[in-house]
Structure 1
């Protein structure tokens, strides 16, 4: 497994990118203290020198329990204070798999250059601006307008009770059967036969295994070791096979259908009345003849407004609103900046 030399940053003077083999900072001379984290640049080359490989494989550094500086695994005494190793703890080691979220700081497995903050926030900032713009465009705004016109319409449906001819799968109550006959009511699928067909099928066959670098291990002494994994390798084989494909036919389902007469109230005419602000809303006069009656009643009331800029708006209102607002009366309207329907801002009680 390949070994690569990492880097560390001096916490005293800020000197960055110090070689992992160095136990002291080349800038200020201070020795590497406890807690220094190693990181591996993206372009770190594989170590091939025998002496440095032996240094890496000797094990994790130990931290002097007296002065807190790092010492190599091969050293019996602290290079800082000269104390014997004794029970001093080892530097911690860490392993990271490439397909898992890093548990260490991002820099531990990345290049030394810090991320550019402007580039990181460009996308989210633009999204926030777009969403904010849409919210503003669709947000409500109030305008002052005047009731320019009032229109109303009312209608009464006239229904006639008459005999009609209908057909159905049963005769309803009050119907008089005239005739019956057999008719197709539905269809069902029935297996008719099988057809022999050919199709291509595939199957995966293991042909061997592949060894690849799947992570890196911080060896705790300034070096990193590649972690290798193995996985099976497959090939896809294709072959033709025959199969029996079912063929279905649509078979009709017959039932008895009935023709009958029945009396029903059916729409025959509609009487309308229309007017504006000069005429009070009223229902139209309806002449009801023999075998006739009044049916549904429909009414619609519309107010039209003009604002200070000459723009016109229309709103369908309730009968109470239609009676309450006079032509020429100023009103407040609420609408979206982008257009669409308007609503009347009703005055609060007591104002």
Structure 2
């Protein structure tokens, strides 16, 4: 695994980028202190010299408990005062992922508060093409509406009452309802069910992921505690997709009918026979038509429709279907405001005045 020489910054005089192998600051001669932050520049070259490699692989430097000098692991006496190592502590080591490797001597701190943070460089925003803006604007315009001043030109209404009579009808069903009189019965297909008929041999292409080996890659770096960093490697399996022909049996089904007894019968029902209409305009209040019934007739559903017709200053006409309570508010000649869609397929609406 490759080893690269890191750097450290002198906390005493501020000298930046001191070589990892140097245990004293080349500027002020202060010993490298315990816990100094080692970092690995992006362009740090791989160490190839054998003596340098041996120094890096010997282990973490130790800090003399007598004079605080930093001494390489391979040496048993302090490089500063000559004392034996004894119980002197060693510099710490640390494993980093690729994204976490320190690249400078600054400690990582929490991000500053927004009020104190320096203004970030403005990012160049992607500019929407003019034709896209025009297209969106055109669609929004078409889907929008406009207000039109108009007057009530006419008001039409119509009401209808359905007349039903009670008569005998002939029906068919899978059972005879109450009141029905059976005429005949027969066996008929009511439904179908799938029944397994046989199997047929088929082939198909099947894919599968097969491991072909392993890949070793650099996944981080280890701070060796002596101003050097060693690449950390990880392995992961490598796969390829292989295909094979697989034989299988496909089930074949048939549709098998389900039989049941069906009945034909007669029964009396109330059914629509006629519709009586009443129509009018603003000069006549809406009313229901008079319906004359005999002994075997009754009223059925009721239908009502109210339509207001408008004309604007250009002579263009509009119509709006409204409920009865709104229909009664408007009279011919009354000024109103309409909300009219810009496309003809839209719905015209009356702009109601706001209630105080």
Q: What's the TM-score once normalised by structure 2's chain length? A: 0.65
Unaligned runs of 5+ in 1: 3-55, 98-103, 105-113
Q: What is the deviation of 1:168?
A: 0.8
Question: CA separation of 1:212/1:134 partners in 2, compared to 1, >3 Å: closer, same or farther?
Answer: farther
Unaligned runs of 5+ in 2: 41-95, 100-107, 109-119
Question: Structure 1 CA distance, aligned partners of 2:333 and 2:277?
Answer: 27
Question: CA separation of 1:95/1:257 partners in 2, compared to 1, >3 Å: closer, same or farther?
Answer: same
Deviation digits for residues 228-253 of structure 1, max 9, x if unmatched?
Answer: 65433334443333322222221211
Question: Structure 2 CA distance, aligned partners of 1:141 and 1:225?
Answer: 73
Matches within 5 A, 1:171-182: 171-182=176-187
Matched, 1:233 2:238: yes
Question: What number of residue pairs does the alignment pair up?
Answer: 280
Question: CA separation of 1:224/1:121 partners in 2, compared to 1, >3 Å: closer, same or farther?
Answer: farther
Structure-1 residue corresponding to 2:326: 321
Matches within 5 A, 1:252-331: 252-331=257-336
Q: What is the deviation of 1:301?
A: 0.4
RMSD: 4.0
Matched, 1:65 2:11: yes
Matched, 1:74 2:21: yes
Question: CA separation of 1:175/1:69 partners in 2, compared to 1, >3 Å: closer, same or farther?
Answer: farther
Structure-2 residue corresponding to 1:344: 350
Q: What is the deviation of 1:129?
A: 8.7
Matches within 5 A, 1:177-188: 177-188=182-193
Question: Structure 1 CA distance, aligned partners of 2:132 and 2:231?
Answer: 40
Task: Please tell me whether the aligned partners of residues 158 and 279 of structure 2 are also in contact (alpha carbons under 8 angstroms).
Answer: yes
Q: What is the deviation of 1:266?
A: 0.5
Matches within 5 A, 1:152-167: 152-167=157-172
Task: Please tell me whether the aligned partners of residues 194 and 255 of structure 2 are also in contact (alpha carbons under 8 angstroms).
Answer: yes
Question: CA separation of 1:178/1:88 partners in 2, compared to 1, >3 Å: closer, same or farther?
Answer: closer
Question: Structure 2 CA distance, aligned partners of 1:166 and 1:173?
Answer: 13
Matches within 5 A, 1:1-351: 57-59=4-6, 61-70=7-16, 71-87=18-34, 89-92=36-39, 95-96=97-98, 117-118=123-124, 120-123=125-128, 138=143, 141-211=146-216, 229-337=234-342, 340-349=346-355
Structure 1 counterpart SS, 2:127: helix
Question: Structure 1 CA distance, aligned partners of 2:13 and 2:263?
Answer: 105
Question: CA separation of 1:226/1:289 partners in 2, compared to 1, >3 Å: closer, same or farther?
Answer: farther
Question: Structure 1 CA distance, aligned partners of 2:156 and 2:229?
Answer: 84
Question: Structure 1 CA distance, aligned partners of 2:354 and 2:206?
Answer: 75
Computing the radius of gyration from Cα coordinates, the structure with the larger value is: 2
Question: Structure 2 CA distance, aligned partners of 1:218 and 1:116?
Answer: 36
Q: What is the deviation of 1:156?
A: 1.2
Task: Please tell me whether the aligned partners of residues 339 and 350 of structure 2 are also in contact (alpha carbons under 8 angstroms).
Answer: yes
Deviation digits for residues 108-143 of structure 1, max 9, x if unmatched?
Answer: xxxxxx99833x332599989977776666456533
Task: Please tell me whether the aligned partners of residues 4 and 230 of structure 2 are also in contact (alpha carbons under 8 angstroms).
Answer: no
Question: CA separation of 1:227/1:199 partners in 2, compared to 1, >3 Å: closer, same or farther?
Answer: same
Q: What is the deviation of 1:145?
A: 1.8
Question: CA separation of 1:272/1:226 partners in 2, compared to 1, >3 Å: closer, same or farther?
Answer: farther
Q: What's the TM-score once normalised by structure 1's chain length? A: 0.66
